[in-house]
Amino acid sequence: MEIFGEISIVILLVTGVSLVMKLLKLPFVVGYILTGILVGPYAFNLLQSKENIEFLSKIGIIILLFIVGLGLNPKVLREVGKISLLAGLSQVVFTAFFGYLICRLLGIPSLEAVYIAIALAFSSTIIIHKLLTDKGDLDSLYGKISIGILLVQDLVATIILILVPTIATAHGDLASVLGLLVLKSVALSVILVLLSKLILPKILEYIAGTQELLFLFSIAWGMILATVFHGLGFSIEIGALAAGVVLSTSPFAAEIGSRMKPLRDFFILLFFILLGSQITLDTFPQLLLPTIILSLFVIVGKPIVVIILMNLLGYKRKTGFMVGLTVAQISEFSLILVGLGAFVGHISDSVLPLVTLVGLFTIGGSSYTFLHADFIYKRLEKLIKLLELRTVSREKAFSPHEPAEIILFGYDRAGADFVKAIEKLKKSYVIADYNPEAIGRLKKQGLPYAYGDADDIEFLEELGIDKAKLIISTIPSLETNKLLIERLHRVSPKAISLVLSEHITDTLELYKLGASYVFMPVYLGAQYAAHMVGKHGLDSKSFSEERERHIKHLSKAQVPATLM
């Protein structure tokens, strides 16, 4: 069968498997690897043109690294701060150390144990970014720290991917080879910085008006730089990553990334299918025990390491737990690293199926644990408390206040409007938020604030919810609002609860729990927009005036502030 026919059947099969993954609420990556097993020699044996598919899958890795580079904006790295740097580096070191010990206890040779241990230390930026986005927690404290840790991991992985082929091909003095590598890296960095400052902005500004041209230039830029890096002794993959980093400071980086993602998704799909096809089922019985042990270490051990580190850095129990869950899987970089190690002859072919199986188990397992994080935390809170080595918390950021009569949860979602209404009542109030940027704005405006997670019972007790006569939640999470209503009405049945909902079914459920009123922004906004249509008709001037008032109102609500 020719390659076109093979890929057609494979795509049809992976579509069916992905539908099952959707029903099970598992990441599609798991489905891709399972499809690889199905089309491999131990099931349908459909892959006869492996060399061609391997070439196409390599294109996927190159595009993936290019997009990762687009996300490594130096400004973003500065924003995540010292916490992410300390936690990220410490997590990689400690996880790799304990992972190495476990591998050695399993009888794995030393060099292979090093590769596996490093592979276990990395976590998937792509999967966690999607999970955080779906949960609406990208701007939360734990979300920001998690993304920062993953960016630090990506940088460490990049350095390792540069070093592995260099060390493997070094025939003389290793120190001189590494020294030459550093010199070439510095020279290339200087040239690329100059290009990104002086030449690329002008080119991008000229071509950005034509989206197709911007897309073509991005591909050309990535391929040319990858070729240059390869010619200078680096890998093509590192060249693609560097190409992305150079464009990351451009105002068009997000648009470039969004246009490249469909290409990435298709070609990286082939990469994971190829990985799955290389899993040898005849060795599965021998790999089963180490796979289970290493998977448990990743799903349980890595979060424990992070929880302890976050506690030592002064963060609350819930924050450490949530950050810990985001690292409970291995990364695409892990599979790339092991594949590279096999290619240069550092490790045997048996390591790749082992790490792939660990990836299969941990990506699926961590997705489930993350989706049910609140439920798991409530059940394990007492055990997690045993991991605390210090009790001082840098999250206890309260402006001076007595227990308030009114508590507003969430400032960014129409919080400013509620503040105006609350101040007219002449009652004591406090604004609770979990976003460092929102807290920064509240500090700057001199408003009473409390910094914490509305899902954290300990925080609610510190906040004095038992004394509140009115709570207002602009948080769209059903589970969070259910917790707030149940807690408030259990201790103060006559208290008023106003909560936000985005779905009719959620609204009815909140009313059943006793919510005083559930406001739905989509419906309220639609009603007001319909009112404007009826009021202004086709009068464009009236709509322009409404527009200016709206922009002015939003600008006042979003006063710039620095992170805590």
**Is 50 exceeded by the pLDDT of residue 562?**
no
For residue 27, pLDDT beyond 80: no
> Which pLDDT score is estimated for 392?
57
Distance of CA 312 to the CA centre of its chain: 23
Cα–Cα–Cα angle for 135, 521, 512, rounded to 5 degrees:
75
Q: Confidence class of residue 39 from pLDDT cuts 50, 70 and 90?
A: confident
pLDDT digits (tens, 9 = 90+) for 211-261: 888 889 999 999 899 899 888 877 787 888 889 888 888 888 878 888 888
Check if the beta carbon of residue 269 is closer than 8 Å to that of residue 94.
Answer: no
What distance in Å separates the CA atoms of residue 203 and residue 519, rounded to the nearest whole number?
48
Residue 559, pLDDT score: 45
Between 323 and 344, name the one with better pLDDT.
323
Q: Are 129 and 147 in contact (CB under 8 A)?
A: yes
The percent of residues in the chain predicted with pLDDT above 70, rounded, is: 91
* pLDDT average, residue stretch 75-90: 73
pLDDT at 102: 95
Question: What is the β-pairing status of strands 429-433 and 449-451?
Answer: parallel
Q: What is the mean pLDDT of residues 379-392?
A: 82
What amino acid occupies position 12?
L
Residue 228's nearest CA partner among 244, 240, 245 is 240
User: Chain-centre distance of CA 45, in angstroms?
Assistant: 35
**Beta partners for residue 500, in sequence order:** 519
| 338 within 8 A of 122, measured Cβ to Cβ | no
Q: What's 531's DSSP letter?
A: H
Domains of the chain with bracketed CATH? 3-385 (1.20.1530.20), 397-557 (3.40.50.720)
Q: Which one, of 242, 218, 216, lies nearest residue 229 by Cα? A: 242
**Euclidean distance between CA atoms 192 and 200, whole angstroms:** 10
pLDDT at 73 over 50: yes
Question: Which pLDDT score is estimated for 28?
Answer: 79
Run of H or E including 169: helix 141-169
**Cα dihedral 104/354/121/308 (nearest 10):** -70
Task: For 87-116, write each residue's pLDDT tens digit.
Answer: 889 999 999 999 999 999 999 999 999 999
